[in-house]
């Protein structure tokens, strides 16, 4: 069921991208953005965003004119179904399949409709995510947090987490080096070429010993001069 524009949640998170149709009954195949693909299986409504042209921001946009922001696909001679960018579809069924997720969405009923969604990104509200187990964290919650390390046995700021990378064995925190300036804001550090300095820190208990999501802070033993 397509939802009206005014119900677009404020906390949508991009979880994956539709890469192809799956079968002939309207199923789609989704490539998740992280190893936490189980989130896709735990939510019953997905929001769809049309492919973003190169150079345009990838933020979720509210629905507008169907011809401009989505696709109108003829499924059968007697029926047309509009899947517009910025609207939602109910997930009728979903499951893992060979490293990806396959799903049947309402009102997608045949392969032609499913093929028309290729390239669309899949979003879900953060508030709809299943509750994680103890000592487990959704990667999206870590982005924007400050990571602290050590220097001369003292806790020091390393920077801000800007991405969590999956290396197959565990997560890796990609951190933009930064310092705190007046007012508590962060100022990113750059090298002599003007590029932001970065550091990669394995997100494992041997290095990251405390996660304080309430205060958007993670604490590690990672050396500041690494």
* Cα(112)–Cα(71) distance, integer angstroms: 12
Residues of the chain with CATH 2.30.30.240: 139-223
84 versus 192: the higher-pLDDT residue is 192
Residues of the chain with CATH 2.40.30.60: 5-128
* Cα(31)–Cα(40) distance, integer angstroms: 10
Q: Cis check for the bond before 107: say yes or no (omega within 30 of 0).
A: yes
The total number of residues written for the chain in this structure = 226
Q: Name the band, by pLDDT with cuts 50, 70 and 90, for residue 180.
A: very high
For 183, residues 6+ apart whose C-beta sits below 8 A from its C-beta are none
Q: 36, 189, 19, 46: which is closest to 106 by C-alpha?
A: 46
When pLDDT is averaged across residues 100-127 and rounded to a whole number, the result is: 92
Residue 46 confidence (pLDDT) above 90? yes
* Cα(77)–Cα(182) distance, integer angstroms: 64
* Cα(206)–Cα(208) distance, integer angstroms: 6
Mean pLDDT (the chain) is 83
Each residue's pLDDT tens digit, 187-218: 999 999 999 999 999 999 999 999 999 999 99
Residue 83 confidence (pLDDT) above 60? no
Each residue's pLDDT tens digit, 146-174: 999 999 999 999 999 999 998 878 899 99
Superfamily of domain 5-128, CATH level 4: RimM (2.40.30.60)
Residue 110 confidence (pLDDT) above 70? yes
Greatest Cα-to-Cα distance within the chain, rounded to the nearest angstrom: 73
pLDDT at 56: 52
Say what the pTM is. Answer: 0.70
How many Cα atoms within 13 Å fall on the side-chain side of residue 109? 10
Domain 139-223 of CATH type 1.10.357.10: no
2 versus 108: the higher-pLDDT residue is 108
* Cα(158)–Cα(180) distance, integer angstroms: 10
Residue 4 confidence (pLDDT) above 90? no
pLDDT at 53: 63
């Amino acid at each position: 069921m397509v939802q009206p524009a005014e119900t677009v949640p404020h906390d949508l998170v991009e979880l994956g991208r539709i890469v192809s149709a799956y079968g002939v009954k309207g199923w789609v195949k989704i490539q998740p953005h992280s190893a936490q693909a189980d989130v896709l299986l735990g939510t019953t409504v997905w929001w769809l965003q049309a492919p973003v042209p190169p150079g345009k921001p990838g933020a979720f946009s509210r629905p507008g004119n169907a011809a401009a922001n989505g696709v109108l696909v003829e499924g059968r001679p007697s029926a047309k179904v509009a899947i517009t960018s910025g609207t939602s579809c109910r997930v009728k069924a979903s499951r893992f399949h060979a490293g990806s997720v396959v799903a049947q969405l309402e009102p997608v009923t045949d392969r032609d409709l499913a093929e028309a969604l290729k390239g669309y990104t899949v979003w879900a509200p953060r508030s709809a995510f299943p509750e994680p187990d103890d000592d487990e964290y959704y990667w999206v919650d870590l982005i924007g947090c400050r990571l602290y390390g050590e220097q001369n046995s003292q806790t020091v700021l390393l920077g801000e987490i800007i991405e969590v990378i999956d290396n197959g064995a565990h997560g890796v925190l990609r951190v933009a080096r930064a310092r705190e300036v007046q007012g508590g804001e962060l100022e990113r550090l750059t090298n002599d070429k003007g590029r932001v300095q970065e550091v990669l820190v394995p997100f494992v208990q041997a290095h990251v010993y405390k996660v304080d999501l309430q205060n958007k802070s993670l604490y590690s033993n990672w050396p500041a001069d690494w």
